[in-house]
């Protein structure tokens, strides 16, 4: 049987970053609540000319530089924070990357689960024709209302993955455990730039989904919990993964040390929630920071509110370290520009669902930018014009190193 899986993956994020210590101070909250209680230190935040298209294209560009576009006949763009009700964000990315017209491009949505749906779709396409390679892009900007409990769990990132036969990094195994449960824990009406969330219910729904998907995974013949070397969870905030792992341990009756999750937190702690990308950001962190994973099985738990969840597993390939993008990811994190809290609040408040014509100011230093709206249509371009914003390189947080 052909081995199919993740051949390459790359992480990108926005121009700005907000320090959660600044947010805590302004809110009169003990900073330890965010650092320890939620397990978060920073959150990426978009400049006016960043969005899910620009960071998605930035994640995908280095994959095309390394592998070329041969065999790519499908682009799957997964997002909760799409930029149009009709047109796929992937079509904008397709043009920015100069992909040939002989490509099918589509956007997938189911809250934070969409990236896993895209990965499964890609695996199916390659299984049908192993000559094909599929570009999967998960890209999100997580927004909650200012001064709401969800505010410190905002964030932004994109992960692009090339799915192919004979993958260099992670062979995805065929068995999956899935669960759909209709629940109003988190959703975002079409007229709202921020999510509506019932925090306590969302935690319960997430944990319910862990056991639901796990039981199905075992019923489908998936290996037992002690045959999975590392777990990586969707991370709305990193503490949630600890809760999930403890929940799975209690459910299975097997001791599962939470310390084994630590490396999967390294990027998410400083990026914040990135919805569809979050799970794959966690996977990238593990592959970038652990040297001895070749031949081991990694379990991936995906949760999308509303809710759909899935557990899949993958076998780490020999030589996976040679393909790491650790240095590029570290550079992208360190190059973010710290946003003072007043500016963050002003930018957040200015976010709109309006499609009125506008020229967007040049701010982002990322490779692509949202140029503005003309004739109610969005326009994107490479960032050739120097950014006007003064850069203030952020010292790496403990978790960045």
- Confirm or deny that 166 is annotated as ligand binding: no
Min dist. Cβ of residue 274 to ligand CAA (A): 9
- Confirm or deny that 273 is annotated as ligand binding: yes
Min dist. Cβ of residue 112 to ligand CAA (A): 4
Coil, strand, or helix at residue 75?
strand
Judged by CB under 6 A, the stretch of 25-33, 117-125, 245-253, 321-329 that binds ligand CAA is 25-33
* Site membership for ligand CAA, residue 21 (CB under 6 A): no
Q: Binder to ligand CAA among 46, 90, 150, 314 (CB under 6 A)?
A: 150
Does the annotation mark 229 as catalytic? no
Contacts of 377-386 with CB under 8 Å at 24 or more apart are 378/53, 378/83, 378/84, 378/92, 380/53, 380/54, 380/57, 380/92, 380/95, 380/96, 381/96, 382/96, 383/49, 386/362
Q: Binder to ligand CAA among 3, 22, 24, 33 (CB under 6 A)?
A: 33
Cβ atoms of 205 and 327 closer than 8 Å:
no
Min dist. Cβ of residue 184 to ligand CAA (A): 12
Q: Per-residue x/- marks for ligand CAA, 260-279, CB under 6 A?
A: -------------x-x----
Coil, strand, or helix at residue 31?
helix
Does the annotation mark 290 as catalytic? no
Rounded distance between C-alpha atoms, residue 18 and residue 155, angstroms: 9
Rounded distance between C-alpha atoms, residue 28 and residue 114, angstroms: 35
* Site membership for ligand CAA, residue 36 (CB under 6 A): yes
Judged by CB under 6 A, the stretch of 93-101, 124-132, 146-154, 313-321 that binds ligand CAA is 146-154
Q: Count residues contacting ligand CAA (CB under 6 A)?
A: 26
Does the annotation mark 15 as catalytic? no
The widest CA-to-CA distance across the chain, in whole angstroms, is 59
User: How far are the Cα atoms of 47, 179, 181, 234, 353 from residue 304, in angstroms, in the given order?
Assistant: 26, 10, 10, 9, 23
* Site membership for ligand CAA, residue 114 (CB under 6 A): no
* Site membership for ligand CAA, residue 113 (CB under 6 A): no
Buried b (16+ CB within 10 A) or exposed e, 7-39: bbbbbbbbbbbbbbebbbeebeeebeebbeebb
Element (H, E) at 160: strand 155-165
Q: Per-residue x/- marks for ligand CAA, 187-216, CB under 6 A?
A: ----------x-x--xx--x----------
Q: Is the dihedral of CA 83, 184, 276, 289 positive or negative?
A: positive
Nearer to ligand CAA, 280 or 303 (CB): 303
Min dist. Cβ of residue 168 to ligand CAA (A): 29
Cβ atoms of 78 and 276 closer than 8 Å:
yes
* Site membership for ligand CAA, residue 303 (CB under 6 A): yes
Min dist. Cβ of residue 198 to ligand CAA (A): 8
- Confirm or deny that 243 is annotated as ligand binding: yes
Nearer to ligand CAA, 268 or 360 (CB): 268
Element (H, E) at 123: helix 114-128
- Confirm or deny that 179 is annotated as ligand binding: no
Rounded distance between C-alpha atoms, residue 252 and residue 229, angstroms: 15
Rounded distance between C-alpha atoms, residue 80 and residue 91, angstroms: 16
* Site membership for ligand CAA, residue 30 (CB under 6 A): yes
Min dist. Cβ of residue 30 to ligand CAA (A): 4
Residue closest to 386 by CA, chosen among 360, 369, 368, 363? 363
Nearer to ligand CAA, 120 or 305 (CB): 305
Known binding-site residues equal 30, 144, 243, 273
Known binding-site residues for (3S)-3-hydroxy-3-methylglutaryl-CoA equal 30, 144, 243, 273
Among all residues, which ones are annotated catalytic? 80, 112, 234
Binding site for ligand CAA (CB under 6 A): 30, 32-33, 36-38, 112, 149-150, 153, 185-186, 197, 199, 202-203, 206, 234, 236-237, 239-240, 273, 275, 303, 305
């Amino acid at each position: 049987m052909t081995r199919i899986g993740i051949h390459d993956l790359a992480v990108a994020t926005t121009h700005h970053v907000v320090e959660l210590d600044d947010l805590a101070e302004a809110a009169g909250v003990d900073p330890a609540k965010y650092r320890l209680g939620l397990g978060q230190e920073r959150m990426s935040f978009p400049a006016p000319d960043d969005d899910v298209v620009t960071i998605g294209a930035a994640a995908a560009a280095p994959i095309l530089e390394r592998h070329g576009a041969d065999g790519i006949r499908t682009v799957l763009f997964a997002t909760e924070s799409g930029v149009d009700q009709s047109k796929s964000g992937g079509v904008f990315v397709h043009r920015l990357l100069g992909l040939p017209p002989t490509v099918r491009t589509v956007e997938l949505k189911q809250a934070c689960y969409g990236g896993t749906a895209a990965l499964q779709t890609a695996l199916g396409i390659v299984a049908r024709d192993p000559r094909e390679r599929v570009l999967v892009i998960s890209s999100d900007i997580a927004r909650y209302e200012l001064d709401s409990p969800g505010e410190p769990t905002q964030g932004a990132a994109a992960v692009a993955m090339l799915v192919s036969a004979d993958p260099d990094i992670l062979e995805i195994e065929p068995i999956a455990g899935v669960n759909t449960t209709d629940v109003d824990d988190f959703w975002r009406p079409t007229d709202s730039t921020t999510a509506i969330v019932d925090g306590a219910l969302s935690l319960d729904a997430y944990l319910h989904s862990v056991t639901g998907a796990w039981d199905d995974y075992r019923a489908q013949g998936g290996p037992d919990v002690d045959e999975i070397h590392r777990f990586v969870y969707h991370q709305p905030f990193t503490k949630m993964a600890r809760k999930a792992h403890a929940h799975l341990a209690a459910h299975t009756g097997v001791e599962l040390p939470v310390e084994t999750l630590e490396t999967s937190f390294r990027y998410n702690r400083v990026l914040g929630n990135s919805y569809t990308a979050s799970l794959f950001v966690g996977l990238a962190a593990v592959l970038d920071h652990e040297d001895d994973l070749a031949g081991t099985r990694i379990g991936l738990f995906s949760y999308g509110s509303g809710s759909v969840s899935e557990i899949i597993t993958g076998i780490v390939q020999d030589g996976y370290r040679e393909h790491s993008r650790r240095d590029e990811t570290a550079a992208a994190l360190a190059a973010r520009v710290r946003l003072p809290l007043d500016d963050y609040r002003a930018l957040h408040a200015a976010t709109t669902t309006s499609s009125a014509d506008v020229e967007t100011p040049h701010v982002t230093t990322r490779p692509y930018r949202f140029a503005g709206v003309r004739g109610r249509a969005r326009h994107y371009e490479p960032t050739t014009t120097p950014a006007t914003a003064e850069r203030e390189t952020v010292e790496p947080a403990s978790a960045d190193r």
